[in-house]
């Protein structure tokens, strides 16, 4: 793979995450932390505090009473949702991008990332390494961040790429068109943002989890399967939807009864719909 100098400089100029978002992502990676740690980070960021209070007070969040303290808001929203709020607020250019090279309209990358994160958290909780479910959520939110960089280097329309029918997956098309793919570029973005190794590794191998480091393979499979389920739910990012292979090895890492999958998908979809309407309202 060849990553060009212009791609590298695009990575370097990508707006940095807010300090609160970065600290929350790192916190999710530590094995034990307290609610007060999350409260302290939220309170250090005025915009995030305001956003969280608007979110927990939105009618769609459905508490039915006013929440006016950060402690209470943190308890109701939960650390993972707060990380989502911090990331969405901090990396607006990333998530709002319209990726015309993928035929992906503005906002679709955010919706795809959020539902992938919700699925990834569920799968990580059923995986061989349950301690990483918080990180799986964060990695799910960021797994396709490389598309934002790569889209600027791809042909303007996806139809030019999709004429090549002989390739096993969309990343091969990206490599043929640009010399790089969105997983590797995304991993480099996460390295540039100094995010935990589990997030970097999950992004780098989310389409080929069997190639990831063994100590992190459970979380990488959780993100991989989450991404796949997001696409199956009709929440992909455009031209590359379902243009990837599902790695059957996930069964060795995630304990999932096929009969459970329908119920789980339904629950995630409900959570997703509620989150999206609370976010739109806040």
The contact mask relative to Fe ion for 230-249 (x = CB under 5 A, - = no) is --------------------
Output the CA torsion sign for 8, 10, 14, 16: positive
Residue 174 binds to Fe ion (criterion: CB under 5 A): no
**Counting runs of H as helices and runs of E as strands, what totals does the chain give?**
17, 0
16 burial via Cβ count (<10 Å: 0-12, 13-18, 19+): middle
Least distance from C-beta 249 to Fe ion, angstroms? Answer: 18
Least distance from C-beta 226 to Fe ion, angstroms? Answer: 9
* Pick 75 or 269: Cβ nearer Fe ion: 269
* Pick 211 or 281: Cβ nearer Fe ion: 211
Residues 85-114 that bind Fe ion (CB under 5 A): none
Residues 43-72 that bind Fe ion (CB under 5 A): none
Least distance from C-beta 206 to Fe ion, angstroms? Answer: 6
Tokens in use for 176?
């043929």
Least distance from C-beta 276 to Fe ion, angstroms? Answer: 17
* Pick 70 or 209: Cβ nearer Fe ion: 209
Least distance from C-beta 63 to Fe ion, angstroms? Answer: 32
- CA distance linking residue 123 with residue 146, whole number of Å: 23
Least distance from C-beta 116 to Fe ion, angstroms? Answer: 6
Residues 129-168 that bind Fe ion (CB under 5 A): 144
* Pick 38 or 216: Cβ nearer Fe ion: 216
Which residues have a Cβ under 8 Å from the Cβ of 135 and sit 6 or more positions away?
Answer: 28, 29, 124, 196, 198, 199, 202, 219
Helix (H, G, I), strand (E, B) or coil at 105: coil
Residues 203-232 that bind Fe ion (CB under 5 A): 227
Helix (H, G, I), strand (E, B) or coil at 99: strand
Angle at CA of residue 209, ends 141 and 207, nearest 5° = 60
Interacting residues toward Fe ion by CB under 5 A: 144, 227
């Amino acid at each position: 793979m060849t990553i060009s100098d212009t791609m590298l400089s695009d990575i370097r100029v990508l707006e940095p995450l807010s300090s609160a978002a970065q600290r929350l992502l790192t916190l999710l990676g530590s094995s034990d932390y307290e609610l007060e740690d999350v409260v302290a980070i939220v309170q250090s960021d005025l915009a995030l505090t305001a956003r969280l209070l608007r979110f927990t007070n939105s009618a769609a969040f459905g508490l039915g009473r006013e929440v006016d303290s950060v402690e209470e808001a943190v308890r109701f929203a939960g650390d993972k949702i707060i990380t989502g709020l911090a990331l969405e607020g901090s990396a607006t250019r990333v998530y709002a991008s319209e990726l015309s090279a993928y035929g992906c309209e503005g906002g679709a990358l955010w919706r795809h990332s959020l539902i992938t994160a919700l699925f990834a958290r569920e799968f990580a909780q059923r995986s061989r390494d349950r301690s990483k479910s918080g990180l799986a959520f964060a990695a799910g939110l960021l797994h396709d961040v490389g598309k934002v960089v790569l889209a600027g280097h791809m042909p303007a329309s996806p139809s030019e790429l999709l004429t090549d029918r002989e390739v096993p997956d969309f990343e091969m098309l990206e490599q043929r068109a640009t010399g790089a793919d969105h997983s590797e570029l995304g991993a480099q973005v996460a390295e540039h943002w100094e995010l935990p190794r589990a997030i970097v590794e999950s992004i780098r191998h989310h389409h080929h989890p069997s190639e990831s480091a063994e100590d992190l393979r459970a979380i990488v499979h959780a993100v991989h399967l989450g991404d796949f389920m997001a696409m199956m739910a009709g929440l992909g990012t455009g031209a590359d939807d379902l243009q990837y292979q599902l790695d059957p090895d996930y069964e060795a890492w995630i304990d999932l009864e096929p009969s459970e999958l329908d119920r789980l998908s339904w629950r995630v979809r409900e959570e997703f719909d509620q989150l999206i309407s609370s976010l739109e309202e806040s």
